[in-house]
């Protein structure tokens, strides 16, 4: 894992001693290893004294684990004790550390709750509902004039209107918190403004109501955590000074996804002379639509005086053909994109990706084995899925050791792909909706709680056993054994004769079990061990439900992500139990089941909680979204739905997901709301209806181009891109798709 031999450009990063450095790394440039090596180097140098740490800030939890492991390995290699001298955190984790160290600074007790997304959404919906009830006609002014009364009635009845308002309020609150604007400040701005800002006026009371409900619950949401961390640092200069002493070096990964608040916090922590290394790839900034992240922050940083810029353009990930295609997309977007606005904004920029030399320890896959397919046939969405399923069915048997991913633009599209594969009995790995880990963990715990709620029910006992032996499913022999045990367990007449056999006999001594054990003695060991756990779990039912869950989790999981999720669930169940004193185990099981069934979002430790490694799943297609695939690589990649809806180009006829069909003039209400918020609090900002919608289109087009770039650069050897004509059949192949196809054809002809 270690014995890292840096490439010349990586060595340039490792030559860093102090000051500010900005690193632009192309996909596959080895930035994590380089940054980990740099962290280890600083930790073991005299630059870090006793009590000091190198702070590494990254985007997602999986990266935290990854970094921590790599740095630990590098540090061990240097003969030092790991875990001391560095701290790896996501921004949320860092802010949680900052707030938890001095909660009283920002009015919190030691036991404050961080509201999960589900509860936060509930509070938001309640606040929105309360406001809408007193202003039921508000939305009328924004509805398309063509809509008839029945259509409008239907929109209201089926919740479309209230859902839209909740979405607006969510964006409004997110931006307000990112700008550290309290409801009172916005109210002052609105009162002082002579402009008409109805959307901001709509969202403000919802924001205020939402904050009140958080305060009542003694809770904060994830956004608050960041804002409060900033406030804590601002309020107590001594605390800030101490943290500056503690963290003399800050290394930031995925800096292209940095938000204004993240920048502000890190700059505050660094002070004027702090040592800061920021690594990122502005071409892979794909979170603008969901968060307040902006790649411009990194770009601006790279241009700041005193910042040493370094490029890491060398990448051994993909075959030359694929690299060429990605580089072409950069050039095309700069020179030939039909939209002036997009060309000016330059959503994709150099450096180009450069293949490494043949002597590199991680050389590019040979180009002669690489394959590019830009499938230009007009297909319906179903036909597209069939095509990919067909292709996989043919390819998989010959490539049992290769990794392959089907990357969809949305979860919904991904789930259709899952259905298509299921129909053909193709085994796959689903990584959709970013809550797989949560679902599996919640699912396992749900089954145990359900069993404990009805411990005399044999199928539930069998299910608990199945969950306990869940890893057996990955092994053919073990899986068969599991099935045999389950079949017998389900027929047990009295479950206590297994869990707590009395003088009337032990179920393990009954003929069907004896037959089973004689044929396969290891079953006896499994059942004995399971019995010990069952006895312990039964005894634990008298504990408060959160504590019971922790006991179960410790016996069931060893994966840190599972433990973290279980712990968060325990905290959530504790909250639920306080609000519902009459709840029984069966009710808690139902709560967990809801989470497991993915009916509710749960916390932020979802998508990325598990350090997903595609190489653990060779020969099985991995279904995920383009967003979730960032940071991963696969031998073969399918990119779906490259049409004018999922990848618009800013030309007439393109459609944009944030623009709702029932809104007049196809206004992007979310963008308009934020523009109104800005106009309310920034004197001099003039709000002009529609301008924000147009600007948001350009941003969206740029982000989609980067998403396509990310998709292309996931492929090591083979890349297949397709498009479909949409549900109504009115979509065409996107412009970048067509440009890529033309480029490939030209290249082919040239050969």
Partner 1 sequence: MELTDSQRAIRDFPASGSLFVEGPAGAGKTTAAALRLLTLIEAGVSGAEVLIMAPHRGALLPYQRALRSSGYAGPTPAAFTIGSLARQMCAQFFPLAAAEMGFAAPEEVPVFLTLETAQYVMARLVDPLAFAAAGGVRVDRQRIYSQILDNLNKAALVGFPHTEIAERLKAAALDASAHPAYEQAGYFADAFRAYCLEHNLLDFSLQLETFRRLWTQTAPRRWVLERARHVFVDHVEEDAPSAHAVIRDLVAAAQSALLICDSEGGYRRFLGADPASADHLRATCDQAITVSGSFVMSPAIAGLAEALGAALGGLDESASDRDADALRGALDFPDHTYFPQMLDWTADSIAALVAEGVAPGAIAVLAPFMSDSLRFSLLQRLQARGIPARSHRPSRSLREEPAVECLLTWAQIAHPEWTLIPPGIDALAYALMLSLGGVSGDDLDLVRARLLARAAYPADDQPARLRPFETLPPDVRERVSYTLGQRYDVLRLWLEEYIAGNNRAVAPAEPPPAPKKGRKRGKQAAVTPLVSAPPQRAELDHFFSLIFGEVLSRRGFGFHHDFIAADAAANLVDSARGFRQTMAGRAVFESNLDGKTLAEEYVEMVRGGVIANQYLRADGEIVPDAVLLAPAYTFLNNNVPVTAQFWLDIGSRGWFERLYQPLTHPYVLSANWPGDRAWTDDEEDASRRETLRNLIYGLLRRCRSRVYLGYSQLSESGNENAGELLAAIYRTLRRLYAEPGVEDDVV
Cis peptide before 478 (omega within 30 of 0): no
Residues 6 or more apart in contact with residue 410 via CB below 8 angstroms: 625, 646
CB of 561 to partner 1, least distance (A): 7
CB of 33 to partner 1, least distance (A): 20
CB of 698 to partner 1, least distance (A): 39
Residue 572 engages partner 1 in binding (rule: CB under 8 A): no
CB of 9 to partner 1, least distance (A): 30
What part of residues 425-454 is at the interface with partner 1 (CB under 8 A)? 452-453
Residue 579 engages partner 1 in binding (rule: CB under 8 A): no
CB of 484 to partner 1, least distance (A): 24
Alpha-carbon span 461 to 193, nearest angstrom: 65
Distance from chain centroid for Cα 138: 34
Residue 29 or 108 having the CB closest to partner 1: 108
What part of residues 64-123 is at the interface with partner 1 (CB under 8 A)? 68, 79-81, 83-84, 87, 100-112
Residue 535 or 727 having the CB closest to partner 1: 535
Residues 6 or more apart in contact with residue 267 via CB below 8 angstroms: none
CA distances from 640 to 67, 346, 629, 716 (A): 31, 24, 13, 17
Residue 239 engages partner 1 in binding (rule: CB under 8 A): yes
Site string for partner 1, 587-616 (x = CB under 8 A): ------------------------------
Residue 205 or 648 having the CB closest to partner 1: 205
The region that residue 674 occupies, defined by phi over 0 for left and psi between -120 and 50 for alpha, beta otherwise, is: alpha
| Phi, psi values for residue 717, rounded to 5° | -120, -40
CB of 110 to partner 1, least distance (A): 4
CB of 143 to partner 1, least distance (A): 35
Residue 561 engages partner 1 in binding (rule: CB under 8 A): yes
User: Where does 379-425 have alpha helices with state H?
Assistant: 381-395, 411-423
Residue 144 or 231 having the CB closest to partner 1: 231
Query: Containing H/E element for 625?
Result: strand 621-625
* Biggest CA pair distance of the chain: 86
Residue whose C-alpha is closest to residue 295's, from 9, 686, 710: 710
C-beta pairs of 66-69 under 8 Å, 24+ apart in sequence: 66/32, 66/611, 67/32, 67/35, 67/36, 67/39, 67/253
Neighbours of 50 (CB within 10 A): 6
The site for partner 1, by CB under 8 A, has a size of 87
CA distances from 245 to 17, 55, 270, 700 (A): 17, 11, 9, 41
- Are the C-beta atoms of 219 and 244 separated by less than 8 Å? no
Interacting span for partner 1 (CB under 8 A) from 45-53, 117-125, 309-317, 664-672: 45-53
Residue 535 engages partner 1 in binding (rule: CB under 8 A): yes
Residue 533 engages partner 1 in binding (rule: CB under 8 A): no
Interacting span for partner 1 (CB under 8 A) from 186-194, 325-333, 493-501, 701-709: 493-501
* Residue 193 three-state SS: coil
Alpha-carbon span 347 to 700, nearest angstrom: 10
Alpha-carbon span 381 to 80, nearest angstrom: 56
Residue 345 engages partner 1 in binding (rule: CB under 8 A): no
Interacting span for partner 1 (CB under 8 A) from 120-128, 275-283, 547-555, 724-732: 547-555
Q: Tell me which of 529, 539, 597, 691 binds partner 1, using CB under 8 A.
A: 539
CB of 234 to partner 1, least distance (A): 8
Residue 220 or 406 having the CB closest to partner 1: 220
Residue 215 engages partner 1 in binding (rule: CB under 8 A): yes
Residue 580 engages partner 1 in binding (rule: CB under 8 A): no
Residue 536 engages partner 1 in binding (rule: CB under 8 A): yes
Q: Tell me which of 46, 133, 150, 616 binds partner 1, using CB under 8 A.
A: 46
Residue 443 or 619 having the CB closest to partner 1: 443
Residue 76 or 483 having the CB closest to partner 1: 76
Interacting span for partner 1 (CB under 8 A) from 267-275, 563-571, 626-634, 681-689: 563-571
What part of residues 242-261 is at the interface with partner 1 (CB under 8 A)? 242
Residue 235 engages partner 1 in binding (rule: CB under 8 A): yes
Burial of 661 (C-beta count, 10 Å sphere; 0-12/13-18/19+): exposed
Alpha-carbon span 358 to 163, nearest angstrom: 55
Round to the nearest angstrom and report the end-to-end CA distance of the chain: 39
Residue 529 engages partner 1 in binding (rule: CB under 8 A): no
What part of residues 288-327 is at the interface with partner 1 (CB under 8 A)? none
Interacting span for partner 1 (CB under 8 A) from 34-42, 190-198, 416-424, 544-552: 544-552
CB of 219 to partner 1, least distance (A): 7
314-315/219-220 β-pairing? unpaired
Alpha-carbon span 476 to 468, nearest angstrom: 17
- For tokens 């140098």, what's the residue? 45
Residue 36 engages partner 1 in binding (rule: CB under 8 A): no
CB of 630 to partner 1, least distance (A): 23
Alpha-carbon span 116 to 602, nearest angstrom: 6
Residue 211 engages partner 1 in binding (rule: CB under 8 A): yes
Residue whose C-alpha is closest to residue 700's, from 433, 345, 381, 406: 345
Residue 540 engages partner 1 in binding (rule: CB under 8 A): yes
């Amino acid at each position: 894992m270690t014995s890292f031999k840096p490439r010349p450009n990586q060595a340039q990063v490792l030559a860093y001693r102090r000051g500010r450095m900005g690193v632009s790394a192309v996909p596959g440039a080895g930035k994590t290893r380089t940054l980990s090596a740099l962290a280890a180097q600083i930790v073991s140098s005299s630059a870090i004294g006793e009590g000091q740490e190198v702070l590494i800030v990254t985007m997602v939890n999986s990266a935290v684990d990854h970094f921590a492991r790599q740095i630990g390995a590098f540090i061990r290699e240097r003969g030092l004790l790991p875990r001391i001298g560095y701290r790896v955190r996501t921004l949320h984790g860092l802010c949680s550390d900052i707030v938890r160290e001095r909660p009283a600074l920002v009015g919190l007790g030691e036991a404050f709750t961080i509201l999960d997304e589900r509860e936060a959404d509930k509070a938001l919906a309640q606040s929105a509902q309360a406001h809408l009830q007193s202003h039921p006609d508000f939305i009328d002014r924004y509805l398309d004039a063509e809509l008839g009364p029945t259509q409008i009635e239907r929109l209201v009845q089926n919740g479309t209107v209230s859902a839209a308002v909740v979405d607006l309020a969510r964006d409004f609150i997110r931006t307000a918190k990112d700008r550290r604007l309290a409801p009172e400040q916005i109210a002052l701005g609105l009162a002082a403004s002579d402009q008409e800002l109805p959307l901001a006026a709509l969202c403000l009371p919802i924001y205020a109501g939402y904050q009140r409900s958080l305060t009542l619950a003694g809770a904060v949401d994830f956004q608050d955590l960041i804002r409060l961390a900033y406030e804590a640092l601002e309020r107590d200069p001594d605390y800030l000074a101490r943290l500056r002493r503690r963290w003399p070096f800050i290394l930031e990964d995925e800096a292209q996804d940095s938000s204004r608040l993240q920048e502000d916090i890190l700059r505050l922590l660094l002070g004027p002379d702090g040592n800061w290394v920021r690594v990122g790839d502005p071409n892979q900034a794909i979170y603008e639509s969901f968060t307040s992240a902006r790649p411009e922050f990194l770009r601006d940083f790279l241009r700041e005086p005193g910042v040493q810029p370094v490029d890491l353009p060398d990448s051994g990930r993909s075959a030359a053909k694929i690299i060429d295609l990605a580089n072409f997309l950069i050039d095309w977007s700069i020179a030939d994109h039909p939209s002036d606005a997009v060309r000016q904004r330059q959503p994709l920029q150099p450096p180009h990706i450069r293949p490494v030399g043949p002597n590199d320890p991680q050389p590019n896959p040979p180009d002669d084995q690489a394959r590019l397919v830009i499938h230009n046939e007009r297909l319906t969405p179903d036909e597209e899925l069939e095509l990919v399923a067909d292709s996989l069915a043919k390819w998989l048997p010959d490539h049992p050791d290769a990794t392959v991913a089907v990357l969809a633009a949305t979860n919904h599209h991904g789930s259709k792909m899952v259905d298509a594969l299921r129909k053909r009995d193709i085994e796959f790995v689903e990584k959709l909706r970013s809550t797989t880990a949560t679902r599996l963990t919640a699912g396992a715990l749900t089954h145990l709680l359900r069993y404990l709620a009805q411990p005399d029910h044999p199928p539930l006992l069998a299910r608990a056993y199945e969950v306990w032996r869940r890893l057996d499913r990955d092994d053919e022999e073990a899986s068969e054994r599991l099935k045999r045990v389950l079949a017998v367990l389900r027929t047990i007449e009295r479950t206590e004769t297994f869990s707590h056999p009395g003088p009337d006999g032990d179920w393990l001594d009954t003929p069907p079990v004896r037959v089973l054990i004689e044929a396969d003695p290891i079953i006896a060991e499994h059942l004995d061990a399971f019995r010990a756990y069952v006895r312990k779990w039964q005894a634990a039912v008298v504990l408060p439900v959160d504590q019971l869950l922790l006991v179960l989790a410790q016996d069931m999981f060893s994966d840190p992500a599972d433990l973290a999720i279980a712990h968060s669930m325990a905290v959530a169940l504790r909250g639920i139990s306080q609000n519902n004193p009459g709840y029984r185990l069966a009710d808690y099981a139902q709560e967990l089941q809801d989470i497991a069934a993915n009916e509710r979002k749960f916390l932020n430790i979802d998508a990325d909680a598990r350090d997903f490694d595609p190489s653990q799943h060779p020969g099985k297609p991995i279904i995920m979204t383009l967003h979730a695939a960032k940071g991963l690589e696969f031998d073969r990649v399918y990119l779906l739905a490259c049409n004018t809806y999922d990848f618009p180009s800013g030309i007439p006829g393109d459609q944009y997901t944030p623009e709702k069909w029932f809104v007049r003039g196809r206004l992007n209400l979310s963008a308009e709301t934020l523009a109104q918020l800005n106009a309310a609090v920034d004197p001099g900002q003039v709000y002009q209806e529609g301008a924000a919608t147009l600007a948001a289109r350009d941003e969206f087009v740029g982000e989609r181009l980067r998403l396509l770039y990310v998709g292309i650069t996931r492929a090591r050897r083979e890349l297949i891109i397709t498009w479909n004509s949409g549900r109504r059949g009115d979509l065409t192949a996107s412009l970048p798709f067509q440009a890529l196809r033309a480029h490939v054809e030209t290249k082919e002809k040239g050969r």
